[in-house]
Amino acid sequence: MIHTLDPVFDKNSKILILGSFPSVKSRENGFYYAHPQNRFWRVIASILEVPIPTSIEQKMELLLDHHIALWDVIQQCDIIGSSDASITNVVPNDIATLLRDTAISKIIVNGSKASQLYCHYCLPTTGIKAVTLPSTSPANASYTIERLIREWKMEIR
């Protein structure tokens, strides 16, 4: 599979949030965290005290207005459905180039798989250690929305 979603960023972006690879729903809908059970947009909106965005335009505006960039570690891989555990044959995105074009000084990874992939493929070229936060995926059922908000809030604000 080839990653077809463009990164969301501008020159004023200060925080980069990285996932692993877009889910099936995100690939179908053409934007990040599109699965209705993924809690990413609810968590971010709650932390920033704004309404939950529903359209791609609203999501992009929310991110850019708050100097947040969004992308994934992987540019290309073999994956079964949306299962991070099935990811093999990874080709990473060029995170280092994105960093040069922005004011990003903090990188957050959404979940342990994204963290593992970032550390292996990207850290050597970026030199920026990432903060690993619990996944907003519905597969991470041990985390309530309240707990996710609490843990993410410490790093986003």
CATH code, 122 = 3.40.470.10
Q: What is the count of structural domains for the chain?
A: 1
Please count the CA atoms within 13 angstroms of the CA of 60 that sit on its side-chain side. 11
Phi and psi based region of residue 134 (left: phi greater than 0; alpha: psi -120 to 50; beta: remaining): beta
Say if 10 falls within a structural domain. Answer: no
User: What's this model's pTM, rounded to 2 decimal places?
Assistant: 0.95
Say if 3 falls within a structural domain. Answer: no
Say if 4 falls within a structural domain. Answer: no
Please count the CA atoms within 13 angstroms of the CA of 126 that sit on its side-chain side. 25
pLDDT in tens, the chain (157 residues): 899 899 999 999 999 999 999 999 999 999 999 999 999 999 999 999 999 999 999 999 999 999 999 999 999 999 998 888 899 999 999 999 999 989 999 999 999 999 999 999 999 999 999 999 999 998 898 999 999 999 999 999 7
CA distance 68 to 61: 10
Residue 157: Cβ within 10 Å count:
9
Q: Are 68 and 17 in contact (CB under 8 A)?
A: yes
CA distance 91 to 95: 12
Say if 139 falls within a structural domain. Answer: yes
Residue 38: which domain range? 15-156
